[in-house]
Amino acid sequence: MSAIERARTPDPRIPVSPQLALRVAIIGGMAMVMFSVIFFRLWYLQVLSGEKYVQQADANRVRDLPIAAPRGQILDRQGRSIVASVTTNAVQVIPSLLPAAVAEQVAAYRKRLYGAEAGFRVAQEKLQRYESEIKSGAGHADLAQRRELRRLQSAAQLPSVSVSPLPASAVAARRLFGRLGAVIKLSPRTIDERVVQGMTAVPYANVTVKTDAGLGPRTVLGERQSEFPGVTQQPVSIREYPFGDMAAQVLGHVDQVSPPELRLRAFHGVRQGTVVGQEGLEYYYDGYLRGVPGVQRIEVNAEGYPVPRVLAPTAPTAGRSLKLTLDLGLQRESEKALLQGIENARASGKPADAGAFVALDPLNGEVLAIGSYPTFDPNRFAKPLTPAEYKELVGSGSASGPLTDRAVNGAYPTGSTFKPITAMAALEAGVITPSEGLGAGSCISVSIEQFCNAGHVDFGAVGLVEALKVSSDTYFFEVGKRANARGALIQEMARRLGIGSTTGIDLPSEFTGVVPDSRWRKQQNAEELRCRQRRHVSSCGIVSEVRPWTVGDNMHLAVGQGDLLTSPLQLAVAYSTLANAYVDGGVGTVVTPHLGREIDEANGGLLQSLSFPPRRRVHLNYSDLGLVMEGIHEAASQPGGTSAAVWAGWDQAQHPVYGKTGTAQHEPLEDQSWYMAYIADPKRPIVIAVTVEQGGFGAETAAPIVRLMASQWFGKPLKFIGGSSKTF
């Protein structure tokens, strides 16, 4: 009998369709890929890149602070130091070791500061627009633009918000700041403000409350350290100008590089916080003087405060030294002479509010002395200047401040010191003959305009040598009238000798100069008309009136007036060209004036001699040049000469003086006093240019200053010998 099979239980599973199985397989595969990617990424981060990210994490805990490199010295031609870097002690406060009340002050200060940023944002936008304008132009900033950058940067600082006083309950902080203030000669309130502001700006760094504390505080703080918790001292290198305001505009000053300046070509690669040259030689030779800053590494915690761990610093490398052509003795006495001349002019009722001098070696262009008044003390820049203080130094509107180097950037008519240039042009072109008598009468008339001698003096009809000796304006007015019919003869001679173009001196900026002629007049007229049309005004002030070049313009130019503008430096170069041509048979060298002589290693060894080739050679008719030099020699040595009284008692045989006075008119202001001199010597010749704004006649103010400078150079008695107020 067959077994009866048990009936099978029905399978509850629903058969999977092929389509569903495919979808499950795809999803599973995708999940597997995603998990594989995640697993590989974790393995990559932990195994292959782990060390890299550990280093980055460590870097996030470390802050680098620059250690300023000692800048190289600036030396005079004899190797005497005139600018140095000195190491001093900066008193600092360690934020993490201060009482908690100070941190509460910082938090409150930050809150008020951020609430007052509306004006700050506007100033920042102005600064950014100005930076863009510079970049879209030449790509680098000249002196005026850099000054404007620093002014805008000063205005674009975080707004001025007062620091709330320490509460009465903050006994520990009050006592600490009181004790510290008594030692470093600062009020406790000032210390508190500097600490709060410093902690707000850079929370992870020590706050410097006084840069140059001195020996006394260093001893007290070192011996009684337990009484000043959180206070430390750090050696720092600061710039020192031991002679104060001497040659301040030429030497320049230093300051920390600003964020806008970091984007300029001159400071490419410089790190934030580096001290760099801002003007003068400090700026021009900054790459040599700056050195290489070191780095102090500080470890900070998650809140940004330093932790007590010592990280090895990178020591700075000192900058190289710059030896100059300046003679320290001549420089100091020249500055004294300028001040004495200004005081003498003021005593006689003249405003005499500014002046400048330049002394050159006419054979090679070495600047032996150079100065400008009013001046300033570069040591002031060791501490931050307020916007008002900086504005005072720069000046406003048409009034130039003490930062302006009038010897290099002054823009002046020259008065009669231009007459030797006019004479050379007229003689070489055959416009005049040396013996021809011109200039009779006290005035000459052209159309309805009169051209007169100063004081309406009548010198009579004189020849060239006599005209230079007595400085007859009417003679040179006639020369200018004749020359105008022959074109730009006077202008061409001025340009050949170095007027109307930059000299190439090793300074950040200099005035180009203006030698006016008919072409220049047309350009000025066109610019004035375009400006009027663009601005919809009746006058832009570029020219007083739109008119063509006239014979009167040329007559004014012939006596150094009208639209002629130049600097004492340019005029010194022109006289140097005449002087070295006179020595070399009529072959003149337009020298490149320069202050740098050599770059030395920090240990004193020579690194590089600086070379300044002459700009060009000019060939002058030696007979004509001899007559011109004879005229200005008689002006300084013969009775009746415009400056003969100033040089009374001078040994003309040993050191003959070729001097020319100048009195430039500035209606309605007082006349500007000028004097130019070349004093010959086989080994130590010198050309000196001096001008005093609103100083009166040339012989009255400027010429005595030149005599004092020449006396110092040649070792003669220093005595101020005033000239006549009636000679010009």
- Could you read off the pLDDT of 506-539 as tens digits, one per residue? 999 899 999 999 999 999 999 999 999 998 999 9
Compute the distance between CA of residue 677 and CA of residue 572 in angstroms, rounded to an integer.
9
Determine the residue type at 199. M
Q: 237: which strand partners?
A: 87
The DSSP secondary structure of 428-448, one letter per residue, reads: HHTSS-TT--B--SSEEEETT
Compute the distance between CA of residue 194 and CA of residue 231 in angstroms, rounded to an integer.
14
* Averaged pLDDT for residues 621-632: 98
Q: Taking Cα atoms as reference points, which of 482, 454, 445, 504 lies closest to residue 284? A: 504
Q: How confident is the model at residue 224 (pLDDT cuts 50, 70, 90)?
A: confident
Compute the distance between CA of residue 579 and CA of residue 501 in angstroms, rounded to an integer.
19
Other CB atoms within a 10 A radius of the CB of residue 244 amount to 12
The DSSP secondary structure of 487-547, one letter per residue, reads: -SHHHHHHHHHTTTS----SSS-----B---HHHHHHHHHHHHHHHHHHT-S--SSSSS--
Q: Enter the pTM of the model.
A: 0.82
489-497 and 568-583 helices, crossing angle to 10°: 90
Every domain range in the chain assigned CATH 3.90.1310.10: 62-116+161-324
Token reading at 551: 């014979």
Every domain range in the chain assigned CATH 3.40.710.10: 335-369+408-643
Q: 208: which strand partners?
A: 92
Query: Please, which contacts does 169-174 make with residues 24 or more away whose CB atoms are closer than 8 Å?
Result: 169/101, 170/99, 170/101, 170/102, 172/99, 172/101, 173/98, 173/99, 173/101, 173/102
CA distances from 477 to 39, 178, 643, 690 (A): 97, 74, 21, 24
Q: How confident is the model at residue 607 (pLDDT cuts 50, 70, 90)?
A: very high
Q: Taking Cα atoms as reference points, which of 677, 666, 663 lies closest to residue 725? A: 663
Per-residue pLDDT tens for 633-664? 999 999 999 999 999 999 999 999 999 999 99
Token reading at 633: 């020699």
Q: How confident is the model at residue 702 (pLDDT cuts 50, 70, 90)?
A: very high
> According to the model, what pLDDT value does residue 13 have?
56
Mean pLDDT estimate for the chain: 86
Compute the distance between CA of residue 725 and CA of residue 569 in angstroms, rounded to an integer.
26
Compute the distance between CA of residue 487 and CA of residue 518 in angstroms, rounded to an integer.
9
Token reading at 424: 């050379």
* Averaged pLDDT for residues 585-590: 96
Compute the distance between CA of residue 93 and CA of residue 208 in angstroms, rounded to an integer.
7
CA end-to-end span of the chain: 159
User: Left if phi > 0, otherwise alpha if psi is -120 to 50, otherwise beta: which for 503?
Assistant: alpha
Compute the distance between CA of residue 486 and CA of residue 554 in angstroms, rounded to an integer.
11
Per-residue pLDDT tens for 343-395? 999 999 999 999 999 999 999 999 999 999 999 999 988 777 777 788 888 88
CA distances from 141 to 146, 406, 510 (A): 6, 20, 14
Token reading at 64: 């680098």
CA distances from 321 to 273, 366, 504, 565 (A): 22, 18, 22, 36
Pairing of strands 74-75, 81-93: antiparallel
User: What are the backbone dihedrals phi and psi of residue 208, each rounded to the nearest 5 degrees, phi first?
Assistant: -85, 120
| pLDDT at 52 > cutoff 60 | no
Q: Taking Cα atoms as reference points, which of 700, 688, 701 lies closest to residue 725? A: 700
CATH architecture of the domain covering 62-116+161-324? Alpha-Beta Complex (3.90)
The DSSP secondary structure of 143-157, one letter per residue, reads: HHHHHHHHHHHHHTS
What is the domain class of 335-369+408-643 according to CATH? alpha beta
Token reading at 296: 């102090």
Instruction: Check if the beta carbon of residue 250 is closer than 8 Å to that of residue 595.
Output: yes
| pLDDT at 699 > cutoff 60 | yes
Higher-pLDDT residue of 64, 521: 521
Per-residue pLDDT tens for 117-139? 655 556 666 666 666 665 555 44
